[in-house]
Amino acid sequence: MIQFPNCKINLGLSIIAKRNDGYHELETVFYPVGLKDVVEVIRASDPNAPVQFTSTGIEVPGEIPNNLCVKAYNLLKAAYPTLPPVKIHLHKHIPMGAGLGGGSSDATAVLKLLNQVFNLSLTQTQLINFAAQLGSDCPFFVFDTPCYATGRGEILKPIQVDLSNYSIALIHPGVHISTSWAFQQLAPHKKEKPIATIIAQDIRTWKQELVNDFEAPIFLAHPYLAEIKQMLYNEGAIYASMSGSGSSLFGIFPKGHVFSNQQLSDKFSIDWI
């Protein structure tokens, strides 16, 4: 069975406080976008290799046991010991380490596929609980609809925000940002106006009010990312931002917008969503 897990962008991202468990309290809106990977799960026959993992597309670094898709299988295998051996194949298209949640989306897709293929009858709540053990933003991909996220990103509430009447340009500059380094640059503090309140306003107010806290330190370390954001505004974006801890940036444009800025078009592969 095959699924096509999509990625997400963050509409605003506030880091509010440092928690005693080492995580951070945050506030954001996760918004699903249609840049997708491909994940296939099929039954295997080798009991000595309960999970076999292969990948194509963008190279997936790291040891196979540390891959989130494999961890998703092992998590359910621990809870359901009779889960049969499987082969998992991932075709990677979503850039990694880009603030788009592609790895989390792939892992959550494996949970969903295992639930369907082997008739585990997991409820949405159960899937969310398993997903939360894999990563803070994995539960969002169980919902996969716009959600207001708090806690460390796992407390989710569906929110009314619809960007279907706009075009989203997604740019990945290929700069690797260490998430742990990015968090170390921040001074967490509570904001005057919640992100959910700003999102409910006219989209034309977002440019002045909707902020990703990671932008300031990351743009200081990588000024070219700030230049790309300004290029998006110069091109006519209604709102532009970095997603998550970067380095992907996105611009929200009127529907059907065609870039006139050849510098952006020539320098980067732009995904229009």
* Residues carrying an active site annotation: 8, 137
Q: Which amino acid is at 42?
A: I
Cα angle 36-75-62, degrees, rounded to a multiple of 5: 60
Q: Which residues pair with 92 in a beta bridge?
A: 57
CA dist., res. 191 & res. 213, Å (int) = 11
Report the distance separating Cα 242 and Cα 250, nearest Å.
6
Q: How far apart are CA 102 and CA 5, in angstroms?
A: 8
